[in-house]
A and B are shown apart, each in its own frame.
Chain A
Amino acid sequence: MLRPTIRELLTSLQGTVGGILIPELTSPYAQGQAAYVAAMLARAAAVYDREDDYNAAELKDLRATLAALARLAPKHLGRGLGDLKKAVARGLKAAKLNPPDHSDHRAMEAAISEFAAALALGRLDDAVARLMRAYLKRHLDRTREFLGNIVMG
């Protein structure tokens, strides 16, 4: 195994910034910037190996949600919701590519975003709304878990 690991490297560099650079800086502004750098190194060390897991979980959920929306579409996306039927088709097409690239991932997110907008506008019936709310809750939980929950104040 190669040492230092990326995590060890990031953690040690955080120590360099905090222990060597900051005490040498005389400008409070520069000290503040260095503190941000140290904190970002700490965050990177904490999450760098979770980014792939986060993206994989999001991708898996997008695929499952789009597949579920496609199953509901014939019965629940009736008149006036043709735009959403097309969105599901575009999203599903991107979801079937294996492995999907960044633009495919974006295409799936774009389709889901159209449904999120439709949910906000009250255009979805109960079954589709329930499905979307459940997806959005999982999406927010994952995002919060990955980014952290910062409170201003």
Chain B
Amino acid sequence: MDHPRLTEYLKRAMPHAEDLRVAGLKRISGGSSRETYAFELEWNESGQPHSRPLIGRRDPTGGLLKSDREREFRVLEAMYRAGLRVPEPLYLELDSSVMDRPFFIMHRAGGRTSGGAFPEAEPAALREKIANQFLEELASLQSLDYRALKLEFLGEPKDPADSARAQTAHWREIYDRDRMGEHYPILDAAFAWLAANPVVTDRVVVVHGDYRSGNYLYDDNGMLAMLDWEMTHLGDPMEDLAWASMMFWGRGEFAAGLMEREAFYRLYEEKTGRSIDRARLFFYQVLGNAKMATICLTGVCDFTQGRTADAQMPFLEQLLAPLCDDLALQLRLI
């Protein structure tokens, strides 16, 4: 994104604003599936000065995910309307002639994030508070009426077993596309197991698709906003719980770096008022590891084949080892 075109775009989007200026435009490293830019918008309105911290998210040339910009924006709008902790989405631009690739603008929430598990160095009281808010927010997400929010476009499962089958098929297709012809025996085994053992969900909910530590902003007072809604779909509530509590996001017994894993599950049951189905949870943890390994392969493939120059991508190959280790243990392959 560049300063002149962004300023012109926002002037068109906000015709009531006078003396509109974009200040401090800089690319930031968050949300690695997108190009993400932070800036301050300053303008006058009715003689009064205004300013607002904003984020611009633009489609990348390559990278971790190939997802639809409009879909993510519409989900964010629905979540904002529903009162979930998300940044307010403001403008969506699908015309590539405006800024080379589609993008959207949203409010920039303050706070900080972690790379993976919730940082050990943070105070225990904050950890406990965020664990509560993290699962409260998940419970709220899973209680939404997706039809009332007009989210059927996310793809309603045809039957209760369709969620598991559709997610398996989706990630298997991407795995086959991005493995560059190589075979990964553990991943081949995992996808075969997933295809042969689809679980049947008891209800269909909105699944964030990347609900984990590292994808929310927080400050010393708690959780501020859940980010990265590009993998959102309709499916099994166990999918987000399984992803959030995968061993991969933090070794040891602390789920998401937040609390001991079994306590985390008990708290989820308390927040949702529903029992965890351990067989479905297990299925989605296997899927989660296979999905994360596939995302890594997509990043590596796009870097190797020149679709992205992001220097973070080749490191993703190194994440395959712990993911395959976890899959081998889960499926008793060693």
| Residues of chain A at the chain B interface (Cβ within 8 Å) | 27-30, 32-34, 36-37, 39-40, 106, 109-110, 112-121, 132-133, 136-137, 139-140, 143-144, 147-153
Contact = CB atoms under 8 A, between A and B. Distances in A.
Contacts of A30: 27
Given A27-B26, A106-B181, A151-B250, 19 more contacts: A29-B26, A29-B28, A33-B311, A37-B311, A40-B311, A112-B185, A116-B186, A120-B190, A136-B185, A139-B185, A140-B321, A148-B321, A149-B321, A150-B321, A151-B322, A152-B117, A152-B214, A152-B322, A153-B250
Contact of B185 (A109, A121, A144, A148): A109
B115 A152 contact: yes
Nearest to A112: B185
Contacts of B2: none
A109 B182 contact: yes
Contacts of B29: 28-29, 32
Contacts of A151: 250-251, 322
B184 to A, nearest CB: 7
B148 interface: no
A39 B310 CA distance: 13
Contacts of A36: 311-312, 315
A151 B116 CA distance: 9
Most chain B beta-carbon contacts within 10 A, residue among A40, A110, A119: A119
Nearest to A30: B27
A147 B320 contact: yes
Contacts of A27: 26-27
Closest 3 CB pairs of A and B: A152-B116, A153-B117, A117-B192
Dominant SS at the A interface? helix
A15 B58 CA distance: 33
B125 interface: no
Nearest to B251: A151
B317 interface: yes
Contacts of B190: 120
Nearest to B312: A36
B27 A143 contact: no
Interface in B276-334: 310-312, 314-315, 317-322, 324-325, 328, 331, 333-334
Interface string B247-260: 01111000001000
Interface residues of B, number: 43
B209 to A, nearest CB: 17
Contacts of B325: 140, 144, 149
Contact of A106 (B183, B320, B321): B183
Contacts of A110: 183
Nearest to B116: A152
B189 interface: yes
A30 B28 CA distance: 9
B115 A140 contact: no
Contacts of B318: 147-148, 150
A117 to B, nearest CB: 4
B183 A119 contact: no
A113 B334 CA distance: 14
Most chain A beta-carbon contacts within 10 A, residue among B190, B196, B311, B320: B311
A147 B331 CA distance: 22
Contacts of A120: 189-190, 192-193, 331, 333
B319 A150 contact: yes
Contacts of B311: 33-34, 36-37, 40
B93 to A, nearest CB: 22
28 contacts: A27-B26, A28-B26, A28-B29, A30-B27, A33-B310, A33-B311, A36-B311, A40-B315, A106-B182, A112-B183, A113-B185, A114-B188, A117-B188, A117-B193, A121-B196, A136-B186, A140-B324, A147-B317, A148-B318, A149-B321, A149-B325, A150-B319, A151-B322, A152-B214, A152-B319, A152-B322, A153-B251, A153-B257
A39 B315 contact: yes
Contacts of B184: 113
Nearest to A119: B333
